[in-house]
Amino acid sequence: MRVPLTIASPAAARPSTIDRRWAGLLLGVGVLAACVVASLAVGSRSTSLGEVLGAFTAYDGSDAHAIVRELRVPRTELGLLVGAALGAAGALMQGVTRNPLAEPGILGVNAGAAFAVVLAIALLGATSPTAYAVVALVGAALTAVAIFALGGRAATPVRLALAGAVLATLLVSLTSAVLVFDARTLDEFRFWIVGSIAGRDPAVAAAVLPFIAAGLAIALAAGRRLNALALGDDVARSLGQRIGHTRAAASLGFVLLAGGAVAAAGPVAFVGLAVPHVARLVAGPDYRWIVPYSIVLGACLLLAGDVAGRMVARPAELEVGIVTALLGAPFFIWLVRRRRAVAL
């Protein structure tokens, strides 16, 4: 196995490299700020920058001000939260599994959340986005526990990926079986499964915020240990790393992140896959930089995709899950064909 030696001593990066990374991160924050402004200004009803500013500084109850404050602000806040969570979850998953194609679907998190939502609709009559968020988070967490139980005590990256694929297939089949025999559940579920941040109650963001915040804290603290894991288990042990504890902590982080994001917005594809690779192209192989970059770039991608969905089909709109899938499919093909992508 080829060992990426550049990860072995990330602290030895030259000052010019560190300056470049900080500059890139600040540029990303600037792009994110532009995406936030666009998210507040663009929609089926165009709003000028003056009206957006006035909605915060001189609110007068007009239609423009009400649209910005009551509709677009909660939507933008949720987009920031979900995008940052998916980006960080993808970085953690790829670091823990050493799989360049890892994203929230690979360990069955999306499938577990979807199955929990279907059961809640079919058996409990759940209809509100807040109820979907709660049960989806529970479903994602239980699925992750089941994956690690199936992986056994020696849960290697390959065993985790295989266990996740098997359980995800089973859960998708069970979900389809319920939907085939229950038309009412299908009608309710299809609006959640497409992946969207539109029309979500602010209570949804409040419900998942503690979980996503905890997951982000774990992700930011895990950078140095993920650098050691990238060298392989044997080398990491020789460096004094407790592999099981590191993998368990990082796994808890991506369960909180991916579960919270899926619970809030439904399954949004490709953000967790694409963003960490873009972060590596800019920041290099050091996870202490990859994770912050992934947080910023994930939020940028999700908000940009949501804005694009509002613009291409006015006065209607495409859900952000559809937009990210359309953008992500070509990226996935490029990633599979790119030889360097497999050398995590």
pLDDT of residue 13: 56
CA–CA separation, 41 and 64 (whole Å): 10
- Report the candidate in 205, 210, 230, 244 with the shortest Cα–Cα distance to residue 91: 230
Instruction: Give every CB contact of residue 229 below 8 A, 6+ residues apart in sequence.
Output: 95, 96, 98, 236, 241, 243, 246, 247
4 is a domain residue: no
Among 271, 274, 262, 269, smallest CA distance to 321 is for 269
Q: Is the residue at 5 inside a domain?
A: no
Residue pair 324/195 in contact (Cβ under 8 Å)? The answer is yes
Q: Is residue 2 part of a domain?
A: no
The answer to whether residue 53 is domain-embedded is yes
Query: What is the CATH number for 180?
Result: 1.10.3470.10
- The answer to the question of residue 344 being in a domain is no
With respect to residue 7, please indicate whether it lies within any of the assigned structural domains.
no
**How large is the greatest C-alpha to C-alpha distance in the chain, in angstroms?**
65
CB 151 within 8 A of CB 160: yes
At residue 27's C-alpha, the angle toward residues 77 and 215, to 5°, is 45
Q: What range does the domain containing 232 cover?
A: 12-339
Flag whether 109 is in a domain. yes
pLDDT in tens, the chain (344 residues): 444 444 444 445 566 767 889 999 999 999 999 999 999 999 878 788 888 999 998 888 888 899 899 999 999 999 999 999 999 999 998 888 887 777 877 778 888 988 998 998 888 888 777 788 788 888 888 888 888 788 766 566 677 778 888 898 999 999 999 888 888 788 778 777 888 898 887 888 888 899 999 999 999 999 999 998 888 777 878 877 788 788 888 888 988 898 889 888 888 888 998 899 999 988 889 999 999 999 999 999 999 999 999 988 777 888 998 899 888 778 777 766 765 544 55
- For residue 18, give both structure tokens: 């560190």
Rounded-to-integer distance, Cα 200 and Cα 202, Å: 6
The verdict on residue 1 lying in a domain is: no
Task: Provide the number of structural domains found in the chain.
Answer: 1
Distance between alpha carbon 329 and the CA centroid of its chain, in Å?
Answer: 16
Cα angle 256, 318, 305 (rounded to 5 degrees) comes to: 55
Taking the C-alpha atoms of residue 252 and residue 246, their distance in angstroms, rounded to an integer, is 10
Residue 100: what pLDDT? 79
- Cα–Cα separations (whole angstroms), residue 11 to 6, 17, 78, 233, 250: 10, 11, 35, 20, 21
